Structure 1
Amino acid sequence: MTSASFAEPQVMADLMARMLWEIEAVHFSPDEPYKLSSGLVSPVYIDCRRLISFPRIRSTLMDFAAAKIMAEAGFEQFDCVAGGETAGIPFAAFLAERLDLPMIYCRKKPKGYGKNAQIEGHMPEGARVLVIEDLTTAGGSMFNFIDAIRNAGGIVNHGMALFYYDIFAEAGKRFADGGVDLHYIATWQNVLAVAREKKLFDDKALDSVADFLDQPMAWSKARGGVDRLSA
């Protein structure tokens, strides 16, 4: 069921940002910021897992993802689509269906019994694999899956994140050093733009979020969080 409807990237980004607000997947809280698992203190939080519960939205996003991949990577560049445990698995299934490709999924670590597999499904030696996650911050989680797939004999030159933070310099370096082109639909800047347009918060809150997006580590440190991301 390959889809090849190519909207402008900015249109796709804007629409995805609107979708995320519509389903209440985005949370701004500058006054009581979130403490993330990395130790980062952040005024923003996003729950892309909610997308799976909205069929019209998820279908549209899979059209966008398929179009982005074909436009930016090529039409015949992949042999299968891989999702990472757990959030990436449903999106791998949706995108594999769109691209008429087989699907596999990758565990965070070998399961520890039976065949001790980390890769589930059929992946031939030398298969060209597209790895997808719901979101990526600095790429650490995605590279855990990429490295596992490469160690199992797969070739990974491309990753797909529906949502990309795009605020950490470490992320760009990680993908460049790892030889992976990252494709994505929307970023925090797109989400903030919609919040400003629709006046979803007062200017003080929006300016604080903008400050975080411009200087996330300084913003975090000033509020007791970490000032650097772990490797």
Structure 2
Amino acid sequence: MVSEGGKSPSGASTGDAVTEDRLFQALYGMEVFRLGEYYLKSGQMTPIYIDLRRIISHPKTLRMAAQAICDIIVAKGLQCDYVVGVPYAALPLATGVYQAGGTALVVEDVVTSGESIRETTEALRNEGLKVTDAVAVLDRQQGGTKELSKASINFHSVLTMEKILDGMIAKNQITEERKKEIIEHLKKPF
């Protein structure tokens, strides 16, 4: 759900509602949203899993997600010299070519606690880069925005868990009551 000004209820920055809806529809069609009992990297059980790894096999949806991220960068006036993806499967940051003093924008697919972005930002800052912002396709709304703020990182997302759950209600995949149960579960501390 997006309110006026492109902000989600959590305060995370979002793209425009049309882009959000199109991206949700495309991701939903790819069956990236799965209900059940899943365990996250943190070890926490979750009643909903979002598998954005599937997006790489769908170029149109990948392009749509990339464009939505670019739209946020432009709309928010984010400035950067480098765009750095959060390392996948512990790929070293050394694979990039950076110069100390430059500004890096960190990009992630799904944010839960914000730990991966925070760790990546810490490594970049240790190499002399400035990092003030991070952008993700989806904010699970499990405290990542707050934790990143503590690390002086402004967090922006295209979609939020609330938007995903509202879309699933519209598709009669879950009820409003089930949405409330999922939201309550996601509020539990790690």
Q: Which TM-score applies when normalising by structure 1?
A: 0.70
Alpha-carbon contact 2:15-2:72 (below 8 Å) kept: no
- Gaps in structure 2 of 5+ consecutive residues: 1-13
Q: 1:21-100 residue pairs with structure 2 within 5 A?
A: 21-29=28-36, 33-74=37-78, 77-86=79-88
1:147 is aligned to 2:122: yes
Structure 2 counterpart of 1:211:
181
Aligned pairs for 1:108-127 within 5 A: 118-127=93-102
Q: Give the aligned partner of residue 161 of structure 1.
A: 136
**1:217: how far off?**
4.3
Aligned equivalents of 1:34, 1:160: Cα separation in 2: 25
Partner of 1:173: 146
Q: Distance in 1 between matches of 2:136 and 2:81?
A: 18
Q: 1:181 to 1:217 in 2, by over 3 A?
A: closer
Greater CA deviation, 42-51 or 15-24?
A: 15-24
Partner-residue secondary structure (3-state), 2:99: coil
Residue equivalent to 2:25:
18
Q: Which runs of 5+ in 1 are unaligned?
A: 1-6, 88-106, 111-117, 219-227
Q: 1:198 to 1:181 in 2, by over 3 A?
A: same
- What is the RMSD computed on CA atoms of the aligned residues? 2.1
Within 5 A, what are the aligned runs for 1:120-139?
A: 120-139=95-114
Instruction: Give CA-to-partner distance per residue, 1:42-69, whole Å, 9 cap, x none.
Output: 2100001111111111111211110111
Distance in structure 2 (CA, Å) of the matches to 1:73 and 1:214 = 34
**What TM-score do you get using the length of structure 2 for normalisation?**
0.84
Counterpart contact for 2:15–2:158, Cα < 8 Å: no
User: Based on CA coordinates, which of the two structures has the bigger radius of gyration?
Assistant: 1
Whole-angstrom distance in 2 between the partners of 1:8 and 1:162: 10
Aligned to 1:119, what secondary structure does the other structure show? helix
Aligned-partner SS, 1:78: coil
Q: What is the CA–CA distance in structure 1 between the aligned matches of 2:104 and 2:41, rounded to whole Å?
A: 28
* CA shift in 2, pair 1:216/1:73, >3 Å: same
Q: d(CA) in 2 for partners of 1:214 and 1:12?
A: 27
How much has 1:210 moved relative to structure 2?
2.7
**Structure 1 contact 65–162 (Cα < 8 Å) conserved:** yes
Q: Deviations over 1:4-41 (max 9, x none)?
A: xxx96222222222122111111012xxx223332322
Which amino acid is 1:20 matched to? L
SS at match of 1:43: strand
Q: Deviations over 1:112-157 (max 9, x none)?
A: xxxxxx4222101111001111111110011111100000111100
1:188-203 equivalences in 2 (<5 Å): 188-201=161-174, 203=175
Aligned length: 177
CA distance in 2, matches of 1:37, 1:58: 23
Partners of 2:31 and 2:19 lie apart in 1 by 18
